[in-house]
Each structure stands twice: as structure tokens, then as C-alpha cells.
Amino acid sequence: MAAARETIARRGLANADSPVLLMVSGGSDSTALAYIARQLADEGVIGPVAMLHVNHCLRPGAADQDEAFVTQLAELLAIPLFSCKIDIAGEAQREGGNVEAVARRERYLAANEALASLCRHAAAPLSAGRIFTAHTADDRVENFYMRSMVGTGPGGFRAMKYANGPVTRPLLDVGREDLRAYLCKRECDGLPCACDAEGNLWREDATNAHTDRFRAYVRHEVIPRIKQRSPQLLDVLGRTMNLIADEDDMLENMAFDLVKCHMTWTEALPERPPAYEEGGVLAPAFGSQPAPLQRRAVVQVLQAMLSPDARVETASVDAVLAAWDRPGTREAKPRGGYVANIQGNLAISANKHGVRLEPMAVFRARRKK
């Protein structure tokens, strides 16, 4: 509790005027988050709270029991509950997508809708609302090693942000075992606790133990071995990731200024607001900027054109920078006649006036004129 309160205050994650939506699956982490948030709301540290539970319909029987447990928890804490069922497997099959990615997308779509409803009910602007997730120090360390194994940019080693838009993580400095000890202590102290049919204080997702899944493999096979050599892994690596995060934030701000200075976005028609997905032109001088900032700036541009949640591919960034001869040097200049097609069906083309990024359909229409 104290660690969560300190993290919220130190990181400015929320205040007494912030309506807070809690994403609660019924696992130990999110169950602890519900108890903690209830107390923080009672103390006036955060504003009114509500809970969201999404039944993914992936584990017949068990998923419904998770939903029943969260419903009981919400009633015990007198917290309004938003609850919904989504056939994630069916949706993934229809789209040909990854089940976990589809589940995450649908979960956050539901969370944004629920947050908007909570803010309306609280007569608060949507910008004041926060979505609290129960990500812990363990989740952050797992992300670090997962990214170490599959590759990432330097900023990726910060692993998780304390705040990303309205999504905030007040438990990021707390270990999973600490949260489970907190739940057990509540029961020992005779405080009201939700229990499932077997008397458990939280719900266990059996699939978390399946080491054929990447995260479960890292959680059960990799991290325990490292902890044998470094028992203080969560604290030590947490401090390291915070140092990385500080430098990452600085570089991201510098890259933002670079985009602001060198990117001319396509002007919107008078009757509608600017549409960044229509692209624009990077000035020739952009090519002579330091390579690390170039890469970050290109990611920001592509993120704006694709979507805030899009995973910008390394090949796409490389294709944009390839539009310059000798990028990152004083002699850099656009390669006239260069054309490339990248993710999202975006076109890149270059001439002496700069490097243009735009939807392929717009590129082809211009070429026909």
C-alpha cells in the first residue's frame, strides 16, 4: 500500500480529482490493486473508482469463475463494475490474428469506453481519467528479458512506463510475492476478503504455467535461475531500467523537437482537422541529424501515421532512412528517384525537396497527374 501511494505521488500518476478505472482479472496482482485502490480512494489520494473485468471466453468454466470472483470482489468493496464477454478466439480466427494481441486490443478498447463512462458519471473531463493496471516489478523484469531475447531498440529496455497516456501502473515498484503476502495478511488480520468456491483469495490462470508460452517460459525458467545469483534482481534491475527510462525520455523529447522542426505535415482541408495519417515531407536537412535521433524521430512520424498502438517495424525505419545518401552525416542528401513501400501500405519517395511519406493510394494518384 505504502509503495503504491509513494509511486503515485512521486510519478504524478493520479490525484484526488482523477476518476480511476481498475482493470481486474481476478489474479493476485489485480485483486491486490482493487483493495489498495479502494483504500486510496477513501483517503482522497485518488478520485472515484470503478472496475473493469473482461471475460475472454478462452478457458471454459474457469473464465466464468474468474468473472464471478471479480463480481464478488466489486460488491465487497462497493466499487461499480463494468463487465463484458468477448469471444477472443473467434475474433482472432476471423481476423487471422494473434490471440494475445487481439485480447489486449479488445481489453483496452473496453477500458477506454468504461473510463469515458466513469468520467461522465463523475462530471470530470476525460483527460483527468486514469486506467490503473496491476503490472508489477516482476512483469517489468520479465519484459526486459523477453526483449533481450527477441531484440529491441535501446528504449525498449525501460520495459514498461509508469504512465502511457491514461494507462498508469502504480504497482510497478512492487513485487508479485509482496502483493500475495499483502492479500494473505488481510485474511490473517480478519479483514473482509473475497474468495472463490475453493476459498482462494485470488484466481490462478492455469495457462500461466505453460512454459511453451514465451512469457511463462521466462517467468518460470529464466527469472528463477537469475534470482539464484541475484536475489535482489527486482530492485537492482528496476533501478537500472529507471535510469534507462530517464535517458529514453530525454531522447524522445529531442526526437519530438526534431520532427517539429523538420516534418511538414500535409495540410488538412479547411472543413476537417489535421490528419497525420496523410503524411508529409521530411526536410533534406533531417538527413544530417544524429542517427540515434533520426531513428526515434522516424518512429514517431510512422506512429502518428499508422496508429498510437502500432508496432513500427525496424525495416520501415530503415527504409525511410535509406531515402538519404549517407544519413547521419553533414553530406547527407535525399536520393532522387528513391521509392519504397512499407508497412501500412505507406509510400516513401525522395527528391531534392525532401523525403515524402504518404499512403500508397495518394502516392499513385500524385504520380498519375
Instruction: Please write the tens of the pLDDT for every residue from 30-77.
Output: 999 999 999 999 999 999 999 999 999 888 889 999 999 999 999 999
Contact yes or no for 294/282 (Cβ under 8 A):
no
DSSP string of 29-40, one letter each residue: HHHHHHHHHHHH
Helices 88-95 and 99-121 pack at an angle, to 10 degrees, of: 120
CATH 3.30.465 fits 266-368, yes or no: yes
281: cell is: 515531407
Cα distances from 158 to residues 154, 155, 196, 299, in angstroms, run 8, 6, 36, 17
Residue 230 annotated as binding site:
no
Overall average pLDDT of the 2-9 stretch: 95
| Confidence (pLDDT) at 181 | 97
| Confidence (pLDDT) at 274 | 53
Cell 479483514 locates to 191
Look up residue 290 and give its amino acid: P
| Confidence (pLDDT) at 3 | 93
91: cell is: 475474433
CA 137 to chain centre: 15
pLDDT surpasses 50 at 272: no
**Helical ranges in the chain per DSSP H:** 2-11, 28-43, 62-77, 88-95, 99-121, 137-150, 176-188, 214-217, 223-229, 233-262, 291-306, 314-321, 360-368
pLDDT surpasses 90 at 335: yes
Please write the tens of the pLDDT for every residue from 139-191: 999 999 999 999 888 788 998 999 999 999 999 999 999 999 999 999 999 99
Cα distances from 355 to residues 121, 189, 298, 307, 366, in angstroms, run 47, 65, 11, 21, 15
Portion of the chain with pLDDT greater than 70, in percent: 96
Q: Using CA atoms, how far apart are residues 205 and 196, in angstroms rounded to an integer?
A: 13
Cα distances from 337 to residues 112, 281, 327, 344, 349, in angstroms, run 43, 15, 16, 21, 7
Helix (H, G, I), strand (E, B) or coil at 359: strand
Extents of the domains making up the chain: 2-244, 266-368
Among 350, 329, 357, smallest CA distance to 263 is for: 357
Overall average pLDDT of the 314-328 stretch: 94
* 168 Cβ neighbours under 8 A, 6+ residues apart: 13, 14, 130, 131, 132, 133, 162
Question: What is the biggest distance separating any 2 CA atoms in the chain, rounded to whole angstroms?
Answer: 77
Could you give the strand order of the β-sheet that contains 346-351, starting from the edge strand earlier in sequence?
Answer: 263-265, 280-282, 354-359, 346-351, 339-342
Q: Using CA atoms, how far apart are residues 15 and 10, in angstroms rounded to an integer?
A: 11
The CATH code that applies to domain 2-244 is 3.40.50.620
pLDDT surpasses 70 at 352: yes
Among 49, 36, 35, smallest CA distance to 7 is for: 36
Please write the tens of the pLDDT for every residue from 125-137: 999 999 999 999 9
pLDDT surpasses 70 at 261: yes
Among 277, 275, 295, smallest CA distance to 286 is for: 295
**Residue environment code for 69-100, b if the CB has 16+ CB neighbours within 10 A, otherwise e:** bbbebbeebebebbbeebebeebbeeeeeeee
Residue 25 annotated as binding site:
yes
DSSP string of 243-255, one letter each residue: HHHHHHHHHHHHH
Residue 29 annotated as binding site:
yes
> Running DSSP on this structure, what letter comes out for residue 221?
I
